[in-house]
Structure 1
Amino acid sequence: MAHGGNVIAEFTADHRELEELFARIEAQPVDHPQRRVLANRLTAELVRHSVAEELLLCPAVRKHVRDGEGLAEKELAEHVKIEGLLRDLEELHVDDPQFNDIVAKLRLEVAAHVREEEQQLFPKLAASCSPEKLEELGRLARHAKQTAPTRPHLTAPDVPPAHEPLVPGAGLVDRVRDLVHGRRTTG
């Protein structure tokens, strides 16, 4: 699925990419070093996606969707859970038996999160926002993902606006670290 368009299309494209990355990880033989490379890429994509959702989707849901406050809080709680698994995964070598367990747990959490967004949250947002607003949010989401961090950050505040000023700086630091350490985070 191609990126572009409104915020729903943008995040749905992210969801398909994440599903593909999980499948590629699982297609590799156990203990194969390529699993670590793919897990690094998955981590970067999930972090970028989550940051964009926290900066744009959650505030839009709060503002435009009936009962949006509760829906946004549920989104953020799910992000915290997923980020915790990403932190755990980041510490593990591919031959650690926990590596596969955490990838499996992560896939289940992400799949449930995606299902809820696509079946419940996105339709509510589409019904309550103008097409122009959804397009604007899509443009902003693409920009946010370009400057977002590529690693989970334990000390960063999880909710906007507290973490908004930190995103570009943390993203830049992460990209430099990735470059220095040869950590591939893109296709």
Structure 2
Amino acid sequence: MSRISDVICNDHKDLKAYYQRILQAEDEDEQTRWQNMLTWELARHVVGEELVLYPALKKHLQEDAVEDHQKHQMIKDKLAVFQSLRSDDPRFMPTVAVLMDDLAAHVTHEEKIDLTNLEGAISEEESKRLALSFERTKHFVPTRAHPSAPDRPPYQTAIGLITAPLDYLQDLFRKWPEPEETLDHDAPQE
């Protein structure tokens, strides 16, 4: 069973890989498929962190994650713009590049400071419990960015339970990479 830092770092690696697939795509259709995959994973990841990781940081390290929430809000704002763009839009590549640059800075801080400090403050059992909670949470949260939605429990949870089914329904009509190409076995399929 994985620790919380393992599952979050694995998500970070997957996000980077999806971005690389966008950059390496041979045509706009392929870019759209990977755009949907990156959006799907990043939206779920961000909300999962807000619901599981940030409360754990506050509880175990007495750190208010205000700065992390602000960075997440900035990422959600940029993701909302990116997810709305067609791959033939001239803003598509610059927008995803800025989004991923901002995400990279956030990821570096999170992996080197937040997760390291948290793992040092909790037991291995608690870390595994948080990891399981994080993975479960991602199954019930929205799959698109909703930057104007509340970003703190309990309002975030309530709004997520309302918007997630709508996102999942819309996902049925989106284009996705072939299942064998994705890194996430729970990824939507056409």
Equivalent residue, structure 2, for 1:83: 76
Which runs of 5 or more structure 2 residues have no equivalent in the other structure? Answer: 177-186
Query: Paired residue for 1:109, among 88, 99, 102?
Result: 102
The question of 1:46 aligning with 2:16 is answered no
CA distance, structure 2, for counterparts of residue 82 and residue 108 of structure 1: 10
CA distance, structure 1, for counterparts of residue 139 and residue 156 of structure 2: 16
Query: Paired residue for 1:57, among 53, 59, 71?
Result: 53
Which runs of 5 or more structure 1 residues have no equivalent in the other structure? Answer: none
Q: Deviations over 1:81-128 (max 9, x none)?
A: 111111111221111111111011011011111111111111100111
Equivalent residue, structure 2, for 1:182: 174
Equivalent residue, structure 2, for 1:32: 28
1:62-141 alignment to 2 at 5 Å?
Answer: 62-66=58-62, 68-69=63-64, 72-141=65-134
Q: Percent identity?
A: 32
- Tell me the C-alpha RMSD between the 2 structures: 1.6
Query: Paired residue for 1:160, among 128, 144, 153?
Result: 153
Equivalent residue, structure 1, for 2:19: 22
Q: Tell me by how many angstroms 1:183 deviates.
A: 4.1
CA distance, structure 1, for counterparts of residue 188 and residue 109 of structure 2: 26
Preserved contact between residue 31 and residue 87 of structure 2 (Cα < 8 Å): yes
Equivalent residue, structure 2, for 1:6: 3
Preserved contact between residue 142 and residue 163 of structure 2 (Cα < 8 Å): yes
The aligned length equals 179
Preserved contact between residue 35 and residue 94 of structure 1 (Cα < 8 Å): yes
